[in-house]
Structure formats: structure tokens, C-alpha cells
Amino acid sequence: MTKLFTLSVDMLGSETKLNDILRGLNQSLLRNLNYKFQLYGSEKAIKKSIEKYKRLLEVTEIINCDSYISMEDKPSDILKSKKNSSMSLAMNSVTENSSDAVLSFGNTGALMSLSLLNIRTLKGIKRPAIASIWPNLKGESVVLDLGANTKLDSRYLIENSILGASLASILFKIDNPSIGLLNVGKEDNKGKEEIKLASDQLKELSRNAMINYYGYVEGNDISIGRTNVVVTDGFTGNISLKTAEGTAKLFQNHIQDAFRSSILSKLGYFFSSLAMKSVKDRLDPRVHNCGIMVGLNSLAVKCHGQSEYRGVSYAADIIYSLLENNVNKKIKQYLHEIQAKITNIN
């Protein structure tokens, strides 16, 4: 019997338009036929907008919510005052096993706090990480942490390496993906002590054939695709993410201006429009905008607060792929093997 996967979606607390969420989920459903959805938000508004998506309506349960967590709410306050918010109820559905994963466009700190409280971390993982899939010259890579934990700690870097490698092996269907540790240089004497300590331990794991550690990588290596996985702390990772998003937007604007500069340029765009669309889609931060919270007992994914339907569809596709491939079971197996080799991951 084919397994059905249920995704609970927090519909409130962001600037993402209701129809973009519904349209994105509907597009993903057309590709992933064994999907079901629980939508937490305004029942009246959702029912009015979902009518045009007949197939989506058939596999969707709508749970009415008036309360939501805003972008300004502090994570420390939500546990007391926002127990019935759309995000809290969507998270509870995963905890109660009525859904398999949660997707939110809202407050990242709140989603992380609720995830730690309700879903909790996998055994052997102290802190979860936010991972994303980045386009590069060779295809794609997994980059983490993008903001879950801003503290630079060798243990977290090692944990993130294991989580990132597990994720890359599933998403990219490759054995033993290569891991790079983001640093200010590739020489052994470069970087802070925590990074050097993590590198030494990753080398030991690599010698035992447990992981495929490449070594240090620099910022430009992310776009080159030097490794399948790039690992850093949440502070550095979040700055890198925002810088990449800004650079992509700058590139797109320069290309658009160039093609508008003359009649010949416009004619050139006409003949190259399909190729340019392909490039734009690969670099568009509105599409590649989902952050996967890895290291939890269940799957939680955060999308940008101003997502468009393509970004919603992309995120839903990623979640389905991870559920179908039983990502948490494979991470648990990987962790169990690693724990036998290194003493500081317990």
C-alpha cells in the first residue's frame, strides 16, 4: 500500500500571500500525488481561495486559527501567550503524529523554539541546524547552518557536517558526499581555534572512512561547488545567505537593464529568453528559499516570509522527497555509526 504524507502548513504570521501558498501546494501536489495537507489559518479565507484548486481541496483539511505569531514576537514569550497560534497548532499536529512535517513562513526564532520544545532533537544532536540547497557551477550543494545557532563551537560544526552529509546523500542521491568547512583560508593555520579543532576531528573521521572530509573551503568555493556540503556556524552562514540573495538580485537587475538598453539588446533577449529564464530560475532567491531544520525527530521547514508560489512549490517538493526517503531514519543510522568513532558526540 502506498504511503500518504501529510504536511501541516502555518498559513499566518508572514507577508506571503494566501493564494501563493495554495498555488504552490497545488503545483507540488500535481507532482507528488500521495500528499495530504493540513492548513492552519483563517478557515473563511482559505475556503474562498482554495475552491479553484479542486484536487488540492480534496486532500486538504482546514483548521481555523485566529491567533498567529508575528515577526516581532519574541520566542521567549510565545510559549505562554501563543499556545493556540497557527504555528503552535501546526507544530502540535506533528507531535501528535497527525502530520509528518510542518512548513511555516513565519518567525524563524519562534519556529526553532517550538521545534525544540515539541519535536526535540535526535539522540546525539545537541542543536539542530538550518540547511538550504544552493545552486553552484556543478549543480547544487547543501549549506548549513544558516542561522539556527550563532555560537561557534567545534561540536556543532561536527554535528552539522554529519547532518549535512546525510541530507546531501538523500537529496542528490550520492554516496559519501564531500564536506567542506568554511574558513578564511585553506591553510591549516588559518581560522579560529574552534574551527581548527573541528577540522582535526573531521579529518580523523575521514581517515576512518566514516565521512568524506575535503578540508577548508572559502566563500567563493560555495558557488564553484567545491564540495557537496559546506558547513559553518549560524552567524557566518546567515550573513553568507543574505549576501548571496542580494548578489543574485543585483545580477538579475543588471541583466534586465542590459537587455533594455537598446533595440538590438531587446532583440537579443527575444532569441535568448528561454535560456535567460532558466538562469533566472536557478539563481532566484524567491525559489531557492526554504530552510530545512535538520537534527530534529520530525521535519520542520521554514520558507521566506515573502515567498512566491514557486518557492512554496519548491519547498513542498523538498519536504516530500525527504519524507519519501525517510531522512530521519537515515540520519539516525548515520549518527549511530559515527558515535562509535568519536566520543564528543553523545
Domain annotation for the chain: domains and CATH numbers: 126-294 (3.40.718.10)
pLDDT in tens, 60-75: 999 999 899 888 888 7
Strand partners of residue 38: 8, 61
Given the C-alpha cell 518557492, which residue does it identify?
311
Evaluate if residue 161 carries a pLDDT over 60: yes
CB 100 within 8 A of CB 6: yes
The pLDDT, as a whole number, for residue 281 is 58
* The three three-digit cell numbers of residue 88, written as one number: 503552535
Q: What pairing do the DSSP bridges indicate for beta strands 212-217 and 178-182?
A: parallel
pTM, two decimal places: 0.84
Evaluate if residue 14 carries a pLDDT over 80: yes
CA dist., res. 272 & res. 259, Å (int)? 10
Whole-Å CA distances, 272 to 90, 240, 251, 266, 269: 44, 31, 17, 10, 5
Which string of DSSP letters, residue by residue, matches 19-56? HHHHHHHHHHHHH-TTEEEEEEE-HHHHHHHHTT-HHH
Residue 253's pLDDT band (cuts 50, 70, 90): low
Residue 3's pLDDT band (cuts 50, 70, 90): confident
Evaluate if residue 235 carries a pLDDT over 50: yes
Residue 280's pLDDT band (cuts 50, 70, 90): low
Higher pLDDT, 222 or 278: 222
Which string of DSSP letters, residue by residue, matches 102-159? EEE-S-HHHHHHHIIIII-BPTT-SS-EEEEEEEETTEEEEEE-SSS--S--HHHHHH
The pLDDT, as a whole number, for residue 345 is 44
The pLDDT, as a whole number, for residue 284 is 60
The pLDDT, as a whole number, for residue 346 is 40
pLDDT in tens, 107-123: 888 899 899 888 899 88
* The three three-digit cell numbers of residue 89, written as one number: 497548532
Q: Which of 323, 320, 161, 322 is nearest to 233 (CA)?
A: 161
Evaluate if residue 40 carries a pLDDT over 50: yes
Which string of DSSP letters, residue by residue, matches 160-192? HHHHHHHHHHHHTT-SS-EEEEE-S-SSTT-S-
3-state secondary structure of 333: helix
The pLDDT, as a whole number, for residue 147 is 86
Evaluate if residue 222 carries a pLDDT over 70: yes
Largest pairwise CA distance in the chain: 66
Backbone angles phi, psi at 72, to 5 degrees: -90, -15
Residue 171's pLDDT band (cuts 50, 70, 90): confident
* The three three-digit cell numbers of residue 255, written as one number: 541583466
Q: Which range among 7-21, 76-90, 124-138, 289-303 shows the weakest confidence by mean pLDDT?
A: 76-90
